[in-house]
Amino acid sequence: MKASLVLKMGQQLTMTPQLQQAIRLLQMSTLDLQDEIREALEANPMLERQDDADADGHASEADPLAEASEQSTSPDAQPEAYEPPPREHNESSANTSELEHIPDELAVDTSWEDIYQTSASNLPVADDDDWDFTATTASGISLQDHLLWQLNLSSLDAREEYLATTLIDSINSDGYLEESLQDMLGGFDPQLKVRLAELEALLAHIQQFEPTGIGARDLRECLMLQLEHLEPCTPHLTEARLLCDKHLALLGAKEYNRLMRLMRLDEDALRDVVQLIQSLDPRPGSHIGSSEPEYITPDVIVRKDKNRWVVELNPEIAPRLRINSLYASYVRRADTSDDNTFMRNQLQEARWFIRSLHSRNDTLLKVSTEILKRQQDFFEHGPVAMKPMVLADIAAAIEMHESTISRATTQKYMHTPRGVFELKYFFSSHVNTEQGGECSSTAIRAMIEQLVAAENPKKPLSDSKITDLLAEQGIQVARRTIAKYREALGIPSSSERKQLF
């Protein structure tokens, strides 16, 4: 094959850094966006908070660029209300005339796969008014720390404390001893000459710690430990101990008739025994943990105003930004010095950043408004009225690509009178009805929950029965689909839901 030079003509769309920034801001969650804005304020002297500028008293009243920036980052500002700053024949406007032109709308809509990862820092700023020092210094106590604290209060020698610490390290987050004592015995140094009876005694000592039932090796032992801590005069305590010790498997299988026969109890007495056992905690260690609570800040708010549903951006998700008019006036025309070039680049980046934030808010508001328009029945009547909807429906309505809608709805939350929902919650597949219509899978899940909540506990509805009940309403769903939805909702099977009372 001979090597040759060939000239070809073609079109290729290149993602500019500004477009990459706009897409990256669009896909960010609220917390990541706040961190990104905080980093931008620290790195770019041309950017400033509107409230900080007003508090310092140096906000320029005659600076059109600052006024336009204020409108750009205001969550409730409408895109149509934006106008480019008027050109004045003063030094400030002349100095910025040769900067790159920024369009009113950024083209964040693209069909490319999102390959840009956010790298926002989670470190707070010490001078931030909203910075909570305890949020980064305080941490919840772990189960092991809670048990070790109680161990330090015990009168044990160094050897016993070492062995007890080893036992505590083997207790999982639910409060159960994961490793058997025999296996743990082989892991100690032979020179210590640890005996099985010694470990048994130390485990019994740990099992007296709080929470009650800690250090058990199985569910039977966990429940028995909790029953031992009850007052001896507790009604049906003896029967509860017998049931947990000998017939716990039958209770799990809900074999109530067999339990009444083996324990020689009538239905009322067995009901009282089962209620006593159900008052115990099968996972005593789960209530103590080091995980911090996760807070969700909604991006949009939906409310009803005078019989009309309205959607608006949450004004608390991001601070209002503007261009620092004092620093912007230092940019000189036809000055190629390093300082002037640096200031010129910073001013350009600040303007692009503000425009990207405006474009993000505009896209998010458009998507949320269309969701509200299509799912208004949900806000009126709840999940049973949810309509089937996919990303392509919203994309076609607001004339954007599906990938843009996916970015705008991922990790974005909507506050409604019915609770806080992720925007992706409103998208679901459909099931055909006998009348030729469609029913949302979310609505079917809500119907399953309603049917199970209203069922007779002694005769719970099977998956086949639920299928028949939905068919009576004109919704044709396979039994295996009902089982899949039921498991996704965390609803046990009919045999597991069966109750004696």
pLDDT in tens, 269-310: 998 999 999 899 999 988 886 566 677 889 999 998 888 899
User: 184 pLDDT band (50/70/90 cuts)?
Assistant: confident
pLDDT of residue 415 exceeding 90, the answer is: yes
Q: What is the pTM of this model?
A: 0.62
pLDDT at 475 over 60: yes
73 in a structural domain: yes
Per-residue pLDDT, 60:
41
Helix, strand, coil % in the chain, rounded to nearest 5 = 50, 10, 40
- Asked if residue 46 has pLDDT above 70, the reply is yes
Q: Within this chain, do residues 249 and 226 fall inside the same structural domain, yes or no?
A: yes
- The parent domain of residue 368 ranges over 300-312+361-426
Check whether 72 has a pLDDT greater than 60. no
DSSP per position, 111-153: -S---PPP----PPPTT-TT--THHHH--PPPHHHHHHHHHHT
Domain membership flag for residue 95: yes
pLDDT, residue 237, reads 92
pLDDT at residue 103, as a whole number: 56
Q: What is the mean pLDDT of residues 17-31?
A: 81
- What's the pLDDT score for residue 104? 55
Position 51, amino acid: D
Helix (H, G, I), strand (E, B), or coil: what is residue 413? strand
Domain assignment of residue 134, yes or no: no
Q: What's the chain's average pLDDT? A: 78
Which of the residue ranges 30-44, 129-143, 321-335, 480-494 would you say has the lowest mean pLDDT?
129-143
- Number of domains comprising the chain: 5
Does 392 share its domain with 306? yes
Q: Are residues 396 and 305 in the same domain?
A: yes
* 181 and 260 housed in the same domain: no
| 25 and 77 share one domain | yes
**Mean pLDDT across 34-42:** 89
Q: Please indicate, yes or no, if residue 445 is contained in any of the structural domains.
A: yes
Q: Count CB neighbours of 209 within 10 A.
A: 19
- pLDDT confidence bin for 500, thresholds 50/70/90: low
Provide the token pair at 96. Answer: 């910025």
For 360-363, the CB contacts below 8 A with 24+ separation are 360/22, 360/25, 360/26, 360/33, 360/108, 361/73, 361/75, 361/77, 361/313, 362/79, 362/105, 363/26, 363/108, 363/400, 363/404, 363/408
Select the more confidently predicted residue: 457 or 432.
457
Is the pLDDT reported for residue 67 higher than 60? no
Tell whether 122 is covered by a domain: no
Rounded to the nearest 10°, the torsion over CA 246, 252, 257, 259 is 10
Average pLDDT value for residue range 370-384: 90
**Structural domain contains residue 137:** no
- Domain check: are 199 and 227 in the same one? no
Q: How much is the pLDDT for 328?
A: 86
Q: Is 29 within a domain?
A: yes
pLDDT higher than threshold 70 for residue 471: yes
| 358-365: average pLDDT | 90
* Residue bearing the bigger pLDDT, 253 or 431: 253
For 9, phi then psi, to 5°, come to: -115, 135
Pick the more confident residue, 65 or 146: 146
Residue with tokens 């000592």: 205
Nearest to 222 by CA among 154, 165, 259, 277: 277
Pick the range with the lowest mean pLDDT from 32-36, 108-112, 229-233. 108-112
Q: Are residues 352 and 367 in the same domain?
A: no
**Mean pLDDT (whole number) for 400-426:** 90
Q: Is 306 in the same domain as 406?
A: yes
Q: 295 versus 28: which is more confidently predicted?
A: 28
Q: Are residues 170 and 73 in the same domain?
A: no
38 and 107 both lie in a single domain? yes
Let me know whether 410 and 373 are in one domain.
yes
- Is 127 part of a structural domain of the chain? no
User: 349 and 370: one domain?
Assistant: no
